[in-house]
Amino acid sequence: MSRTAGRRRRGHGAEDTETGSRDDRKRRTRRALLDAALDLLEGERSFSSLSLREITRVAGITPAGFYRHFSGMEELGQALIEDSFESLHQMMRDARKDGLPPTHIIRASVAIFLDHVQSHRAHFRFIAKERYSGSSAVRLAIRKEVRLWVGEVAVDLSRFELLKRFSSEDLQMLAGMMINAVIAATELLLDAEPGDAAAVTRIYETVEKQMRLLVLGASLWDSSLTGGNATPRPA
């Protein structure tokens, strides 16, 4: 009743629906769907609790219209993952091309990454939430990205004179610990209020300290003392 206003009622998603070629408009609607999902995930909700209808409502289209873009929620989840990591990869390529300062490479890299996190909160919130709670396809995709990242860092580390005597396995472990620390910092960053500069500073400082501790440990490391006697029990 009283649907007085213009025919098309849209949500926050696609604003100027009227311009551009058909492909452009389609791309815009797709973006609106992705953004709608990210918007809803900014709150307490988890991806698996989002409904298709809810997302189309926020994006400003009809439920049935959803299927012109994705076969279902699972596929939208995949798209969100690709979306999130693509901007990260882009950033990392740029950073590599621009060249890092030779002296504080680690610190600079960490800072660049955390800056990126802060300017893409929604993406990383999604990743953090889905890393352990998402569908197995999404979880695997995230794990693959992390594994690749660890590999890259291990290669970078292998160029340090100090780390020449590291076995490649131990290099992976060191890289893994560094990335674990950065991921932990990321999660703290996402939990902190975005405007809380003091908290942000503390997080940056802490992770830098952690890196320093790891480098110190590495300087005394002897890869030939590997393994030793572990204490595992099957259950």
Residue 95: both structure tokens together? 């950073």
Closest separation between CB of residue 225 and a copy of itself, Å? 8
Among residues 94, 124, 102, 97, the alpha carbon closest in space to that of 189 is found at 124
Q: Which of residues 149 and 221 has its CB atom nearest to a copy of itself in the complex?
A: 221
- Which partner in a copy of itself, DNA, none is near 91 (CB below 5 to 8 A by kind)? none
Burial class (CB in 10 A: 0-12, 13-18, 19+), 186: buried
Least distance to a copy of itself, CB of residue 151, Å = 16
Pick out residues in 59-98 that bind a copy of itself (CB under 8 A): none
Q: Which is nearer to DNA, 18 or 161 (CB)?
A: 18
Q: Is 180 in the site for a copy of itself (CB under 8 A)?
A: yes
77 binds, among a copy of itself, DNA, none (CB under 5 to 8 A by kind): none
232 in contact with a copy of itself (CB under 8 A) = yes
Site for a copy of itself in 98-137 (CB under 8 A): 107-108, 111, 114-115, 118-119, 128-136
Q: Which residues bind DNA (CB under 7 A)?
A: 7-8, 14, 18, 21-23, 25-26, 28-29, 51-54, 60-69, 72-73
Find, among 113, 124, 121, the residue nearest to 195 by Cα.
121
Minimum CB separation from a copy of itself for residue 97, in Å?
20
User: Of a copy of itself, DNA, none, which one does residue 7 interact with (CB within 5 to 8 Å by kind)?
Assistant: DNA
Site for a copy of itself in 138-177 (CB under 8 A): 143, 170, 173-174, 176-177
Pick the closer one to a copy of itself by CB: 92 or 108. Answer: 108
The least CB distance from residue 21 to DNA, in Å, is: 3
SS (H, E, C) the chain: CCCCCCCCCCCCCCCCCCCCCHHHHHHHHHHHHHHHHHHHHCCCCCHHHCCHHHHHHHHCCCHHHHHHCCCCHHHHHHHHHHHHHHHHHHHHHHHHHHCCCCCCHHHHHHHHHHHHHHCCHHHHHHHHHHHHHCCHHHHHHHHHHHHHHHHHHHHHHHCCHHHCCCCHHHHHHHHHHHHHHHHHHHHHHHHCCCCCHHHHHHHHHHHHHHHHHHHHHHHHCCHHHCCCCCCCCCC
Binding site for a copy of itself (CB under 8 A): 44-46, 48-49, 107-108, 111, 114-115, 118-119, 128-136, 143, 170, 173-174, 176-177, 180-181, 184, 187, 191, 194-195, 197, 200-201, 203-206, 208-210, 213-221, 226-228, 230-235
